Amino acid sequence: MLPQTSHLASDKITTLSSQGHRAARQGAWRIATDLPTSFRYAAQGLIYGVVSQRNFRIHLVIGTVVLGLGLWLQLKPNDLAVLVLMVTAVLVLELLNTSIEAVVDLAIGRRFHHLARIAKDCAAAAVLVAAISSLLIALLLLVPPLMTRLGL
């Protein structure tokens, strides 16, 4: 059963919450009619991820450190591109995980359902798999030049 909606002016602001964090988005039900509006909605989603999702912030900081280290070590452009792709993949999957969790919560509310658990667990597992593979790739690309740079 879907939650009932109202068209009152006070209901036009939808409050999204995740673990105590709140962010508001006016007109979340509206479809973007132009490109700037589409970009604004995307920016709102990115801001929501940064503000409300601890793991997204952790991945963002680690990714920044990894890319900074790659630049400092003067990795080849192809190696830097691989690092950028891996960091981006983890961040994208983290945002998808957040959206899947929100949709599942919207659909079932505070009730337990085994399929909701599967959906949430699999989305989180996708992030975990990407994070582990990103770590391995980063180690393969960064450790040899780091050892050379440190004279080890």
Phi-psi group of 17: left, alpha or beta (phi > 0 → left; psi -120 to 50 → alpha; rest → beta): beta
Both tokens assigned to 95? 């945002």
Q: Who contacts 55 (Cβ-Cβ below 8 Å, separation ≥6)?
A: 94, 127
Residue 94 annotated as catalytic: yes
Distance separating alpha carbons of residues 93 and 34, to the nearest angstrom:
26
Active-site entry in 94, 127, 130, 142: 94
- Catalytically active residues are 94
